[in-house]
Structure 1
């Protein structure tokens, strides 16, 4: 099975209808994962839109920003994400034969300050708008001979990074006509440049099946999406099964239920008199108690769902009440219901060395190590307690005050 992913500079996703347009193009072109540069959304987090999952990482202003959009099948394989900054976003997916990590990046332009440029562990895919031209001259096994144009200074800087991290620039290794290579049309002289790239770990070079641009994609941008076909399989994450619990507290609060439960148990116990072995008696007792409880007591999950439904109905009535009269109050109520919070990461934790952990067992192990270190006492000193120490004498007023408090209770 092949996973198709593309990267594109959308110029902005802050326009009405832009997200719907992107999703339609993903469905039409059968794209599983799409990386977005210049998303221009504020904050960081993840939202669901129909059958797609949108992960985004932005700043406080509607500038820069990156995002990753996954289709319905791929979003079920999402292990977690890490919003590093408004230029870098990491997402990890459960895959076969190995998990897939994707970094969406947006590098500063040549007009940006040097300080901004400088700001910019086994990684599989890094993609985005790098604002650099690597050209068509081959560099070892890093840059292929099928790039576009000649390399510039920013291109030299870009080539150094995959050399250090054992990666290749994927879309320079597949021979394509020029219209399938360029990714950005310069507005002043209509020069076509290749500045968007998809980098792949050297180890998975043979898994990269194809790479080309999609000039026919309707995304309302001066950038053209770059698509790669990658030999991999997404695995749907298994959700842990929740064990239903009975509301045992009803036996103490409700006398009617308590009496009904006692009758049910008594009736079932009467059928156990004919059993001979102790083991059969024990099994019969256990089944009788559980069957009586299942027949009388209510499951907590059902009560929670009923309470949630009642709460949502009440909130809906409040929103509807303010719909035509007070829009500010209406939106305030909607925010209370959705409880939207900025979230920079999900399903991940930093290791001792500063790396990112997304596996559940390793996260639990890291928490265990942290708590052991937190409460570990390396002083090796015994606490000295003076057993013969005595305090001041108890005064008569203190005794009277204590007796008065006891009478009040």
Structure 2
């Protein structure tokens, strides 16, 4: 056993198996923890970890470490190479009813025990907490939880969901279910018996530094009937990455504020700085190649364009436009209050810090809802005003930004020659083939006599000398003026608006580069 493969590991919740212990069934090892047999009742809880044959061998070879923490918690540690793994199976209490003190205390006690368990684990381990948390995390928490919750949550946050996210924030865990896009049937794990609506109650938590090792998490419906449970099986694929995978540096396009481009003061300042930049480059570097001149041109124009005309309406990284600095400040206060509460557990001041945290959590919830409503009102007014002033471009820009990605080509209907919609993918591909074949391969008959009668164009000496002459500054100015605004820039990423904003300074600079290309007969290389 090399220790690099541990096989399959499962966490079971609400097992209702009394006492605690280890048993082996057909090569699978069950490590369980439950209520004492003398206290066994209908409300018995129980949690267990099931190890496959390979995982069992790895667990036994590493010392067979496990602990029955409570009737709701059991931990197993496998010292495999290169990273040991600690698995914690949980069965959390149900979401507290409104105002029921016993339910709230039960939930607080569960997370207190879970926190104590985490504090005892090895910090270098990969920690996986799996089971039924009876919690619902909301989509809004993807914007306020600092990367703890992904954007693929499906529920609205409840009290247990708030506790779960705060616990993850405090201990740097992520809710892996919410980071992978899947169909709705592969996200929900439990159906409400009355509303018949599916919810995500079961979760797999992993410490944040091992986020890249989680390849996929999704629910599987097939196992439900076989084992007699109302929860779907939740499966995660884990593969440890020993080396950090460096992400390629992403280049962001230069975004311009159109209102600033209409400001005469900013335009004048932009042109003056360009003129000073041109003088400095010519003074310090008199022998530059065409590529060096063009690189200086692009960098200077982009840098000063971003400074004077850049769109400074920053969007919260990983969040939404409505998430303001004021919201971030109050969310940070709530996170700090939770940390203070955890640090004062079992002290005389615990109630004080707990009440402060709950107060801030309620304030955050109300402010988020209020800000979202205000944000949508603002966007609606912007769209309405753009339509009133006959500016459909701005209106549709807002709508496209809100809609997100464009329509998938997979869902665009394709019709045959008779107008009937084709649903089969193979038929759609054949229809596209037939369409392009007919459009591009047109049968034509060429009459050679007609071709012979077409007169050959003649170019006089004046026109030839004009075409062979170096492009003039007036031609460059005319070409810049003919470029359309609000179009995607080329590989140099210099928008047409910046070229026009630079006036004759940019025209002269470009003319110098074009003249060198013409005379030296070299092409610029875009890197």
After TM superposition, the score normalised by the length of structure 2 is 0.38
Q: Going by fraction, where is helix more abundant, 1 or 2?
A: 2
Q: Identify which of structures 1 and 2 has the higher relative contact order when contacts are C-alpha pairs closer than 8 Å and 6+ apart.
A: 1
Q: Going by fraction, where is strand more abundant, 1 or 2?
A: 1
After TM superposition, the score normalised by the length of structure 1 is 0.48
